[in-house]
């Protein structure tokens, strides 16, 4: 799946089949269902990829203190890009996995 196909899937009622849970969470996030995305992030706390997702979600929520905690757990720092750019970076990263 390409980023274009992923973005096109946002018009559907359900996420595409056969995508990773993290991509599913990012799909829900783009559909303004932060809770569904956050539930997925919490489902595997302690896993670097899920912690990275968790960090982004708390940054989007506006809770930078909590976001920074999760960025540290994911062994990274808060990126100096817009939320939209971070979302795209994450989608591209997890499409490549």
Report the alpha-carbon distance of residue 26 to residue 34 in Å, rounded. 9
Output the six-digit token pair for 60. Answer: 């989007």
Enter the tokens of residue 72: 């540290």
The conformation of residue 16, written as its DSSP 8-state character, comes to P
Residues 6+ apart with CB under 8 A from 73: 46, 48, 51, 54, 55
* Averages of pLDDT over each 10 residues, the chain, 97 residues: 96 96 98 98 97 98 97 97 98 94
Give the per-residue pLDDT at 86: 98
Give me the helices (H) in 9-82, please. 21-30, 34-43, 48-61, 64-73
């Amino acid at each position: 799946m390409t980023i274009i196909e992923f973005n096109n899937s946002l018009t559907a009622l359900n996420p595409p089949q056969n995508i990773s849970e993290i991509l599913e969470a990012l799909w829900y996030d783009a559909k303004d269902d932060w809770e569904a995305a956050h539930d997925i992030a919490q489902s595997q706390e302690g896993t670097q990829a899920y912690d990275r997702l968790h960090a982004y979600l708390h940054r989007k929520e506006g809770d930078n203190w909590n976001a920074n905690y999760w960025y540290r757990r994911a062994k990274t720092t808060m990126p100096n890009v817009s939320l939209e750019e971070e979302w795209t970076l994450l989608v591209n990263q997890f499409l490549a996995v």
